[in-house]
A and B are shown apart, each in its own frame.
Chain A
């Protein structure tokens, strides 16, 4: 019998509430708020309280899927990224870079958000960058 309480940060929004995952025999069974965390001081919202449920959900996506003839087929990352890049190339060549927009997230780090805007401006060539916290 192994029981661990693993401190973590809520992955839902940019607030960054501290929480603890209750891990019993390598299964996450519960989420508890971290009482001493300076951000949330032992409180959570409904999404944070139920964070453990999506980790174990059977509906969770664990690998990329490519839609082929109307059906999702499992694929590997190289194949999926290659296909996405090819389609972006086609769309940009045909309709121009402003036909593409990049939506980023409060859930990812500052550095990742920076990379995403760099990708939009330098690689794709558009200023269409927006953030979920602005919606």
Chain B
């Protein structure tokens, strides 16, 4: 791994490399450069994930011609695909060094902070939504009970908006959360569950299921499950699986042509 990055930096394939470096036993994201090649000895694959692609977006904003290399898990790859589609990053200027993450028969070593077992208490199981639940399990609840359970989760929100801040695919210059006409400076933040549901809708065709939002949530709201549902609808309606390719998204109307047609909606009766 070190040798590949060293070769890339030396032959000018990339200007900087985003990876992780152990600092006092904390694996922290670090930007490796040609000027300090000796630091590469400390390059590690951290089980704790940071949105490296978001850092790359910020760097590209500051200097569009910079060529960036980065460690990439599957979620990083999906996020990069979405960022390419939305013209936030240029695939020509990004090099990825793939590392193991989500477990599969093809990968013997899995390495991801999301794989730590979720701890869900009894009260949450009884009143709320289990973070580890599957969508099918949720649709077993009646509509009213499901609403009650989600509202229990949403009312815990402390409005840190960390889910938005850490999200690698949240890049809008004008966020409706900061729009002067919608929320005046000094006014109270939107009522629960307005923010959560608007964000869920905005995640359609964007969310790449990396789970960073849920990891950053101080109140353990099952955000990943919520956005998974939204993207499940996107997959049903448009036959589009977010992040799996860097080709046109049905939500991206700024491209040259729309390549995806909506599928006829099939009423299955299991809609949740």
Contacts and interface: CB of A to CB of B under 8 A. Distances in A.
Contact of A45 (B58, B63, B66, B160): B160
B53 interface: no
B234 interface: no
A44 B162 contact: yes
In terms of DSSP, what is the predominant structure of the interface of chain B? mixed
B178 to A, nearest CB: 11
A46 B159 contact: yes
Interface residues of B, number: 35
B44 interface: no
B196 to A, nearest CB: 15
A30 interface: yes
Interface string B66-102: 1000000000000000000000000000000000000
B49 interface: yes
Contacts of B55: 3, 5, 22, 30
B159 to A, nearest CB: 6
B165 to A, nearest CB: 5
Interface stretch (B21-29, B103-111, B249-257): B21-29
Contacts of B166: 32-33
A129 to B, nearest CB: 31
Given A1-B15, A43-B216, A22 B58 contact: yes
B50 A3 contact: no
Contacts of A116: none
B230 to A, nearest CB: 23
A2 interface: yes
Given A33-B162, A42-B216, A44-B162, A24 B58 contact: yes
Given A3-B59, A49-B160, A34 B218 contact: no
Contacts of B165: 31, 49
A53 to B, nearest CB: 11
A7 interface: yes
A87 interface: no
Interface in A10-59: 20, 22, 24-25, 27, 29-37, 42-46, 48-49
A2 B66 CA distance: 10
A15 B165 CA distance: 21
A46 B163 CA distance: 11
B33 interface: yes
A28 to B, nearest CB: 11
Contact of B16 (A1, A42, A48): A1
B89 to A, nearest CB: 15
Given A7-B23, A29-B58, A35-B48, A45 B28 contact: no
A5 B26 CA distance: 12
Given A2-B33, A7-B28, A43 B217 contact: yes
Q: Which of B30, B63, B165 has most A Cβ within 10 Å?
A: B165
Contacts of A46: 158-161
A30 B166 CA distance: 10
Contacts of A45: 158, 160, 218
Given A3-B16, A4-B31, 12 more contacts: A3-B55, A3-B59, A7-B28, A24-B62, A29-B58, A30-B58, A31-B165, A32-B29, A33-B162, A37-B26, A45-B158, A49-B165
23 contacts: A2-B31, A3-B16, A3-B18, A3-B31, A3-B55, A4-B31, A5-B30, A7-B23, A20-B29, A20-B50, A24-B58, A25-B62, A30-B54, A31-B165, A34-B26, A35-B48, A36-B27, A37-B26, A42-B48, A44-B160, A44-B218, A45-B160, A49-B161
Interface of B: 15-16, 18, 23, 25-31, 33, 48-51, 54-55, 58-59, 62-63, 66, 113, 158-162, 165-166, 215-218
